[in-house]
Structure 1
Amino acid sequence: MQILKLKEKISYACGDVASNFYWRVFDVFLFIFYTDVFGLHPGAVGTMMLVTRLIDAFSDPLMGALADRTETRFGKFRPYLLWGIIPLVAAGVLVFTVPDLDSDGKLIWAYATYIFMMLAYTFINVPYGALLGVMTGDSQERTTLTSFRFIGAFSGGSLVAYFTPTLVNELGQGDQALGWQLTMALYGIIAAILFVISFYNTRERISPPQKQPTPIRTDIKDLFNNKPWIILFSLALIVMMTITLRASSGTFYFKYYVGREDLIGSFSFVYMISLALGAACTPLMTKFFDKRTLLMVLMVVVAVLSSAFYLLDRTQITTMFALQIIIGFCLGPKSPLVFSMYADTADYSEWKNGRRATAMIFSAAAFAQKLGGAFAGAMMGWLLASLGYVANQVQSQDSSYGIVLLMTLIPGAFAIISVFIIRCYSLSDTEVSKLQKVLSERVPVQELK
């Protein structure tokens, strides 16, 4: 078994702490920033999120192909953790800058800066995700490493969820637009330091087969011939819709339905903490349960509890927090499990085709997450617009009901759909162990230091 040192696991996790200073801001706050601070119509925001994420349909696989073909003395993927810092920091500040333009000019600015942000995020995050697939070849160790990654992600997300509203108010001193701009600049500095730590303390150990064919068309063909990967792609898309709907609508839910905007930070914080605890418990759970079975059970619980939210009165705040904590704990293992399974599908592809395209597989996985977030954002925007949502005003009965649905029954329905998708996944833990044994006789793995 290829055991990684604790220092390397923590350093790898630092990369996703850094990423979540952006991803979690987008997930929780971006939609309400665009409607309530930037001044865009919710329908326009929904359409923009869908269009910009569709552009990632091209950027993610292309980035994966580029990373797979990169050759440096530091490896294929690690150098991007340094190269991508400046574009990411700059894009983060520009997205949260409110220009002095008319409504059309603001919309163009939003499109341009958000596309820039998505491309910058892809440039650094696709190689970061692929790095997991070449640090170790052991499936259980990958699950542990992925758990470290997402403990870092959810811990970073917890800090973002809790401190962002306070930072915006304190740094802006009453000017929310300035507060958001300065907050993202601060997050950029912290993220840069964390990415540097991740670069210096990780190593790539698994190399592709010698004389591996490299046409991009072949990599894409291998993806679509990889049935376990196709199922995981679909699963990640649907589960991300569940997660994004609950996270993004939660800000609207507490501001407009519950009438307690002061609780948004605390509500998001306990959710992130529960996600981190769920991720931390994943290696223990997988010692007793098959990954596929575990995912099915957890998503059934999420569906039931999300639907139970619908029955709550706006005054039952303690129950809201309790249900959110349990839902977060059940969703926490999703990311470690699925990303570990993606690494397994990379092994499966190499076993089946004699070729390894780790970054291509992980880039397409990242696209599934972004696409799921895009569909969720578009659904939110279009539904709120159709029901008469007006920013910073008391909402109509229809608009309030739409906000409740986005927080409860709609994500619950997507959670149920994900259960049926998981049932189709056929790459069991036993099969993974067998094909990895075959691969270990084909591909030399660099000796651990």
Structure 2
Amino acid sequence: MKKELSKGLKRFYGIGDLCFTLMSQVQDVFFNFFLTNIALFSLGTTTLITTITTVVDAAFSWVYGAIINGTKPMRWGRYRSWLVAFTWIVPFIYTFKFIKIGEGLLPIVIIIAAGIISSFIWNFPYVANMSIIPVIGKTPADRMQLSSTRAVYSRASSILFSYMGLPLADFLSNFVGEAYKFGALAFVLGVLMVIGYFIHFKLTEGYEEPLYEETPVVEKNNRPSKEKKGTSGKSMVKGLFQNGPLLSLIVAEMTRWLANFVILGCAMYYFQYVAGNSGMLATYLLVANIFCMVGAFASKYFAKKMSSKILFFLSFMLMGGMLVIARLFYSIPWIVIILMAVAQFGFGCIYSTSPAMFADTAILAEWKTGEDGSAWIMGLGNVPLKVALVLRGLLINGVFALIGFSATETEQASTAIQSGISNVFLLIPGIAVLIGGIIILLGFKLTKQQIEQMSEDIEMRKSS
């Protein structure tokens, strides 16, 4: 039976994402700085460490959903259990990613191991947190509500971290010392992540049936055998390769994540070498994050007027179009900031709508296979993100090599260098996102009515 979303879910499903993003931003913002300026590793060693941890993380990105769906559910249900089962371990391991112990090879091994292990563990609650959306949200409107609220909290955390990240690390240095301040920050925000996912665990109580209640041994044989099994590998493979909308969605997601990471990676270069004022970077980041958060919030209202697919497509077109237009005005920084803010509004809508889109493909997969593969499908949303992180460096460094960029360039960079930086900052991401939008338009052939009918069929199948 359908259970209505509680007020708590409508308002607070996203606190776990806020806490998770705060924790993960420690590595996104400070990891390179820690390696070069505190651990005092060479640039080559730093590159080795970041490359190994990133590539391994990307290689495992498809695994988490497969394990969640392919193994026997734990005590509190297939998805809710993963929000709390192993999450508490993360702060204790994550901390060592930001601590240098000893000299030579030892600290390198410890940091790489801490990075790989902590990421591997935290990806399970991250994927489960997304996978439970189609479980607790029985209608497209419910799923969009949850996706939008989650996105707003996540984007708000980026703004929050920009103000609290370094000040909190400096405050902690008064207790642990300068060398350990980022390790302490990782631990504190890691604990906050554990609390955040526990809040989600409590908010979703009653929406997913537990595997069973603890009963005397004599009753164990009466437990339904289907609840003891995970989703079969055959069904997971079929749910992917016989799911055209999902394949289209994965490719489109790759374009928007690649664009996002390239923009983040090139912003400093643009404002220093093209705008000639690196101080404008802070203003740009603040404005962009605010517009992104507003887009994430507004998307649930847009979704009431149109399907998730149309909203997703239009958001891709808005973001890509603004980026391409901004390239035409690359020599006027304030116009670029305004157009980029509108582009980030589109990105916020994309970010908010994406989980609902994946949830629709999960429903299609279950309708076709007869088995629930939500974690497997939702977990595949992690793949384009991780791959885009790897491709980001290759794209940026490749373009910079082609244009002959050198870090020894002064702020009065040549016109060719400024044009090249603007291309990789604006034009290439814009074209990529526009291609992603076209892929969605042509490849995501699922309508709102079809999803609703499939959901009804699945519920009837379960009740029969």
Into which bin does the TM-score normalised by the smaller protein fall? 0.7 to 0.9
User: How far 1:240 moved relative to its partner?
Assistant: 0.7
Q: Which residue of 1 aligns with 2:433?
A: 415
Distance 1:283 1:115, change over 3 A: same
Q: Which residue of 1 aligns with 2:79?
A: 77
2:155, 2:289 within 8 Å by CA — same for their partners in 1? Answer: yes
Give the conservation status (yes or no) of the 8 Å contact 2:263–2:425: yes
- 1:16-415 pair list within 5 angstroms: 16-26=17-27, 52-56=53-57, 59-68=60-69, 69-97=71-99, 101=103, 111-168=112-169, 178-203=180-205, 205=207, 211=226, 214-254=231-271, 257-258=274-275, 260-312=277-329, 316-384=332-400, 387=404, 389-390=406-407, 403-415=421-433
Amino acid at match of 2:438: F
The whole-number CA distance in structure 2 between the counterparts of 1:392 and 1:39 is 25
Q: Which amino acid aligns with 2:195?
A: I
> 1-side partners of 2:426 and 2:283: how far apart?
19
Distance 1:152 1:312 in 2: 32
Kept in 2, the 8 Å contact 1:36–1:391? The answer is: no
TM-score by length of 2: 0.81
CA contact (8 A) 2:3 2:207 kept: no
1:360 partner letter:
W
What does the per-residue CA deviation read over 1:247-279, in whole Å, with 9 as the maximum and x for residues that have no partner? Answer: 232244445654555554443233222222111
Give the SS at the match of 1:140.
Answer: helix
Q: Determine if contact 1:277/1:329 at 8 Å carries over to the other structure.
A: yes
Distance 1:318 1:433 in 2: 45
1:131-190 per-position Cα deviation (integer Å, ceiling 9, x unaligned): 2121122121111111111111111122113433444566558x9765433433332233
SS in structure 2 of the partner of residue 76 of structure 1: coil
Output the CA distance in 2 between the equivalents of 1:395 and 1:100: 43
Deviation at 1:434, TM superposition (A): 1.6
Other structure's SS at 1:431 match:
helix
How many angstroms apart in 2 are the aligned matches of 1:195 and 1:75?
Answer: 15
Query: In 1, Cα distance between the equivalents of 2:265 and 2:31?
Result: 8
Distance 1:222 1:287 in 2: 28
Answer with 350-359 or 401-410: which moved more.
401-410
Partner amino acid, structure 2, of 1:405: N
Aligned counterparts of 2:399 and 2:35: Cα–Cα separation in 1 = 16
Higher mean C-alpha deviation, range 401-410 or range 328-337:
401-410
For residues 381-407 of structure 1, what are the alpha-carbon distances to aligned partners after superposition, in whole Å with 9 as ceiling and x for unaligned? 455577555499979757766544332
Task: Report the more deviating stretch, 82-91 or 398-407.
Answer: 398-407
With CA pairs under 8 Å and 6+ residues apart, which has the higher RCO, 1 or 2?
A: 1
**Structure 1 residues without counterparts, runs of 5 or longer:** none
Deviates more, 1:348-357 or 1:37-46: 37-46
Closer, same or farther in 2 for the Cα pair 1:15/1:392, shift >3 Å? farther
Coordinate RMSD, CA, aligned? 3.6
Q: How many residue pairs are counted as aligned between the two chains?
A: 442
In the TM superposition, what whole-angstrom CA distance separates every residue of 1:12-36 from its partner, at most 9, and x where no partner exists? Answer: 3111112211344555565676677
Taking only the aligned residue pairs, the percentage that are identical comes to 20
Question: Looking at CA atoms only, which structure, 1 or 2, has the larger radius of gyration?
Answer: 2
Q: Secondary structure at the match of 1:332?
A: helix
Against the structure 1 CA distance between its residues 419 and 14, is the aligned structure 2 distance closer, same or farther, given a 3 Å change threshold? same
The letter for the 2-side match of 1:230 is: L
For 1:425 and 1:441, locate their aligned partners in 2 and report how far apart those are by CA, in whole Å: 26
